[in-house]
Structure 1
């Protein structure tokens, strides 16, 4: 039996504020993970650990000493305050509590040179935290854009992206066009210094960013690879590509850990 220590990946959590009308955990805050993400990490050979949104900054940062890499999960909007703007509509005010929590995780991961993988919102908060900016709403701010979020179709909504040849993502999935799901209404408008755009949609929306060098391993994808499944009638190879991202990330974490 192998005695090698397993790869441990910390997953950022979603935050639900106290709900005094809920019959379950009445008036208590909830820190949660959508189950597909943890399952995808486990299938890739790592142990997923949910990182709670601790109030004490030192304790929150110390969580990164316990993991080999960080996965920033999807979820609520990023507040425009993160990139120095005000909300154009009240509905786009975002989630400042979660922003502060994840920005603290990102800072701790960068200081420890832990690899980071951002998924959907995760790509957005990574980019915004490093000095980039977002479209608060694609439909309102980018006329003629594709439908990047459709409530009824949800993860069945999708489009193709073009991946740059000289990128980690291309080494993982192959350069050129690939089908992805699309469940976001915000998107990267200005890529942060130090990151580069490595995938775009046909309407020019940024779909992936990365920095992969000797100092840092940072990758963000706008789609949800954990939701790419074998039962997708429009894309029979979706599951293998979704798994490939997590498997390659785990391999990168192992290489940098050793």
Structure 2
């Protein structure tokens, strides 16, 4: 007999944004918030229930529901992949117009990370999610790896997309090394052109790309604080031929942290040192757009 809803983990999934477009034939002029099917199904494959965490502010906002309410109610959150991170989020000017990213989504994502960190709930990031977590906690990014890293390999191929792969080296003694014993090298998909330049304070790099040594996985040193981990690759895009790293191991580790947090939440912590700073910045930014 399957487990009832009351006994299943409730995992938040951050929203992707499609901003209001007067020329779109459907939902003309409306802001869309959505999830990509594969990542929702990946989380659900464990038996967990997935809840999209919508942005609670904007031109149509009503009521008093906040991201903090979702963080209190849910057991953890997964930060979605998607658009580039705006370089201004880590103190840089865009080097090219096409690398502007999505500033509104950055503010929303940072507010989600802030809410769940303040609630002591686990956070897992995928691709953009890794980059956003790194920036939220004080790290920086390469705006374009191939342009800024001499000798870098191609990390994104728009034609092959999730079939594009490269090898990674797992850092000996890391959490990832313990999850994948006797597997110092593995293959992963690669669907990004931005990447970590300087890792955020308090985080360890757990895997590097081969041969160009771009950080591919990070994990926060615990010290009583909540579990935060992220991968640059998309574990939800499973290779049908089984050539890539087993995605179930990473998911099980995150969900085990969510189960532990049900019993004993971690210490409340704001990545910005001031509580709810990101939520206030998001609210002000969206109010100005009205």
TM-score (norm 2): 0.83
Give yes or no for the alignment of 1:253 onto 2:261. no
CA root-mean-square deviation: 1.7
Q: Secondary structure at the match of 2:216?
A: strand
Instruction: Decide which of 1, 16, 22 is 1:20's aligned counterpart.
Output: 22
Q: Is the 8 A contact 1:173 1:245 kept in 2?
A: no
CA apart distance, 1:256? 2.4
Provide the aligned length of Structure 1 versus Structure 2.
253
CA apart distance, 1:243? 2.1
Equivalent position of 2:171 in the other structure: 164
Equivalent position of 1:226 in the other structure: 236
Counterparts in 2 of 1:212 and 1:257: CA distance versus 1, 3 Å: farther
Equivalent position of 1:117 in the other structure: 124
CA apart distance, 1:167? 2.2
CA–CA separation in structure 2 for the residues paired with 1:44 and 1:6: 10
Instruction: Decide which of 214, 217, 226 is 1:205's aligned counterpart.
Output: 214
Equivalent position of 2:108 in the other structure: 101
CA–CA separation in structure 2 for the residues paired with 1:115 and 1:165: 24
Instruction: Decide which of 59, 65, 73 is 1:66's aligned counterpart.
Output: 73
Equivalent position of 1:182 in the other structure: 190
Q: Is the 8 A contact 1:45 1:250 kept in 2?
A: no
CA–CA separation in structure 1 for the residues paired with 2:144 and 2:132: 15
Counterparts in 2 of 1:154 and 1:169: CA distance versus 1, 3 Å: same
Equivalent position of 1:85 in the other structure: 92
Q: Which has the larger radius of gyration?
A: 2
CA–CA separation in structure 1 for the residues paired with 2:92 and 2:236: 31
Q: Is the 8 A contact 2:145 2:194 kept in 1?
A: yes
- Give unpaired runs (5+ residues) of structure 2: 264-290
Equivalent position of 1:155 in the other structure: 162
CA apart distance, 1:63? 1.5
Q: Secondary structure at the match of 1:78?
A: coil
Counterparts in 2 of 1:184 and 1:86: CA distance versus 1, 3 Å: same
CA apart distance, 1:64? 0.9
Q: Secondary structure at the match of 1:246?
A: helix
CA apart distance, 1:197? 0.7
Higher mean displacement: 197-206 or 167-176: 167-176
Cα shift readout 1:108-139 (whole Å, capped 9, x = no counterpart): 11111111100000000000000000000001
Instruction: Decide which of 129, 132, 138 is 2:136's aligned counterpart.
Output: 129
CA–CA separation in structure 2 for the residues paired with 1:62 and 1:257: 16
Q: Secondary structure at the match of 1:227?
A: coil
Equivalent position of 1:216 in the other structure: 226
- Give unpaired runs (5+ residues) of structure 1: none
TM-score (norm 1): 0.93
CA apart distance, 1:255? 2.0
Equivalent position of 2:42 in the other structure: 40
Q: Is the 8 A contact 2:187 2:243 kept in 1?
A: no
